[in-house]
Structure 1
Amino acid sequence: MSYADQKMSSGRITAIIIVAALHAVLGYAFVTGLAYNVVKQVAQDLKTFDVTEEPPPPEELPPPPPEEVVMEPPPVVSPPPIVRTNVIAPPIVRTVREAPPVVITPTAPPAPPPPPQPKREAVGAKPRSNPGSWATNADYPSSALRNEEEGTTGFRVTVGTNGRVTDCSVTSSSGSSTLDEATCRLITRRARFTPAEDSNGNPITDTYSNRIRWQIPED
């Protein structure tokens, strides 16, 4: 039993080896033939086209090295002989600049002096208050009342530069010395004036004249 099995196994192994060898030969023939056909077809295709490669551009040659310039020394030239000649210097011409003309600008004539102001007229002394207030009924002298003395006394006073009366005199009597004396006394004490002025406006002394009427008041 073991011998038969061993014999069968050897036969089978041999058959498998043969089959494998046949497959390998067929595969090789198939592959070889197929590869040959493919190579042949490719060779025919390559014959149909001429592939020309463009030549590479020519290489640029480096520029030639600059030529060396050989400097030749300048020729030796001897200086010409010195010839001395008497040279007369040119005369010096001096330009004299003329002064510009004097421009005279006429000036306007001076303005005439202002005309003198007209002299003002002298102003006389003027009373600062009403002359009727210088003597009232209350100032009537009692002796003149008893004697029933009445009348008008004319007077003239001198007014100083301060406006006060400096002197008084009776120019016409009332007929009563008592009334005349009372007139100058009251006026000298009460009268005030604006002093007189000359033509330049300076205060000056002046005179003033007037009259006072004395009348016994009715009861």
Structure 2
Amino acid sequence: MAYADQQMSGNRVIAIIIVALVHIALGYALVTGLAYEAASKVIERVTTIDIEEPPPPEEPEDEPPPPEPDNAPPPPVAPPPPINIAPAPPPIRTQSTIPPPSPPALRIPPPAPPAPPPPPAVSKARGASPKGQAGWARRIQSNYPRRAEREGTEGSVGVNVTISPDGRVSACSVTRSSGSSDLDSAACDGMTRYARFDPALDTAGNAISDSYSTTIVYQLN
């Protein structure tokens, strides 16, 4: 009896739970359906409202233009401010490597003008000339050969002498005979012993040998 009552109580609890779940499901469905229907009606009511547009305003009649002022000065117009447009700075170019300096330009100076030729040297050349001729000529004539003087022989003897750089006669030869060997010999001997000369010079002024020709006259008083 107690076991049957206990089983019966359990079945009742289950039935109550099932009935509660059914009521909850029906309530949920009812609430959801009513909400959907209410929302549909609101949407339909909103979409079916007619909005009447107000009539456009009437255009005003053309009004006459206002009278223009007589000789009204034009309104002052301020000049536009000057526009200072600064030029853009030139772009700065940088080089990563510095090129080597270029070699200096080679300037070849013009050739120097040729030196003027030296002036011609003054020639100092000269021939030998007698030195104190009157004195030594008188001594030669006074040395009259003795035999020619005894025989009264007179004559002229032409001689050519070689003059050394010291101005003395180094050689003598008869170029024209007097006809007397004594007079010819006496003439060359006298020139060699007594004759003196200023020696000849070359272009540089150095004394050189030279020759000289003259005539010795032998005449008795």
User: TM-score, normalising length from structure 1?
Assistant: 0.49
